[in-house]
Amino acid sequence: MVQCVNRAQTLNYCMQIKDIVKKVKQIEIRTRKKTEATLMGQYHSAFKGQGMTFSEVRPYQFGDEIRRIDWNKTARFREPFVKVMEEERELTMMLLIDISASMDYGTKTQLKREFVAEIAASLGFSAAGNNDKVGLILFADKVYKVIPPQKGRKHILSIISNILTADYIPAESKIDKALEYMMGIFKRKSLVFLLSDFEDEYDAKILRVASRKHNLLGMRVYDEKDNEIPDIGYTLLYDSETGKQVWANTSDVRWRYTFAEAQKKKIRMLEEDFVNSSAGFMNINTGADYSKLLYNYFQKK
């Protein structure tokens, strides 16, 4: 437990801890309402588990399927008994979160990292409500942190905190490496939610492989300025991941149009890659109602 003493550095650290705890609690309150009201039931219906497992044997009742009869017990007691099967409900959800520097950005209502933390919380609480395990992989140019799948509310709160407090890396994100790492560790089919702004290149072949082995949904989280740059005159544009800088005349209508069209083309290609990989895809602006999109996705599943 952290104890605050009369030192400026320690006080500052304690204030940071208090702020994070407060923010995590706020996210929990907001997301649990959405989860319980709209998502949890659809999540359960969409992902029914990995198969059926034996539960018990009981006397035959009118309407039971003949193929469920336990012939050994039936012969022993000279009356029909049937095997009762139940759904093997437990699943594993993996959250793959991009922590490259471009995710630590926002101009509207939230930073992308804060919005991602909310989405992750809703997904996590949906899984926790169905007694499923949830794990976390934080990545940028490589995998930086892995939290093994566990159950329970405290575990979900820990995941939210880790997303909010991560050091966001000034490097290009390597989605391929994150997916390959995840597939190397988790052999059993899992629910994989990949959250990124997808600003960097990736290998579409890895998407196809990951989608065959796991239930994959890509979620592009973006700020409105990612798609269109406003007219602010001559300005120095800075790439937070590569460090590159370039002067641009944003008052030039043609320049702004070319940039916006290039982004639209990039997003279309991204959507096509996921569709061709038989994976799900969402394009979500920070501050948007992601719960409706997730609800529709679960319903389609």
In a domain, 240, yes or no: yes
Examine residue 123 and state whether it is found in any structural domain, yes or no: yes
Same domain, 27 and 65: no
The CATH number of the domain where 231 resides is what? 3.40.50.410
Containing structural domain, residue 129: 18-46+90-300
Confirm whether 29 is domain-assigned. Answer: yes
Residue with the two structure tokens 């007694």: 131
Q: pLDDT tens, 141-182?
A: 999 999 999 999 999 999 999 999 999 999 999 999 999 999
Q: CB count, 10 Å around CB of 258?
A: 11
Total domains present in the chain: 2
- Burial (CB < 10 A; 0-12, 13-18, 19+), residue 15, is exposed
Mean pLDDT, residues 265-270 taken together = 95
Across the chain, mean pLDDT equals: 85
Q: What is the pTM of this model?
A: 0.78
User: Residue 25's pLDDT is what?
Assistant: 76
Q: Is residue 296 part of a domain?
A: yes
Residue 286 lies in a domain: yes
Rounded CA-CA distance 175/202 in Å is 6
Residues 213, 102, single domain; the answer is yes
d(CA 197, CA 220) in angstroms, rounded, equals 5
Task: Report whether pLDDT(2) > 50.
Answer: no
Per-residue model confidence as pLDDT tens digits over 180-189: 999 999 888 8
Kindly report each contact of residues 57-64 with a partner whose C-beta sits within 8 Å and lies 24 or more positions away, as own/partner: 57/81, 57/82, 57/83, 57/84, 58/82, 58/84
265 compared with 52, residue with greater pLDDT: 265
Is there a domain that residue 12 lies in? no
In the Cβ-directed half-sphere of 129, how many Cα atoms lie within 13 Å?
Answer: 22
Of 68, 88, 108, which residue is a domain's last?
A: 88
Please check whether residues 66 and 117 belong to one and the same domain: no
Mean pLDDT of 54-76: 82
Q: Are 60 and 201 members of one domain? A: no
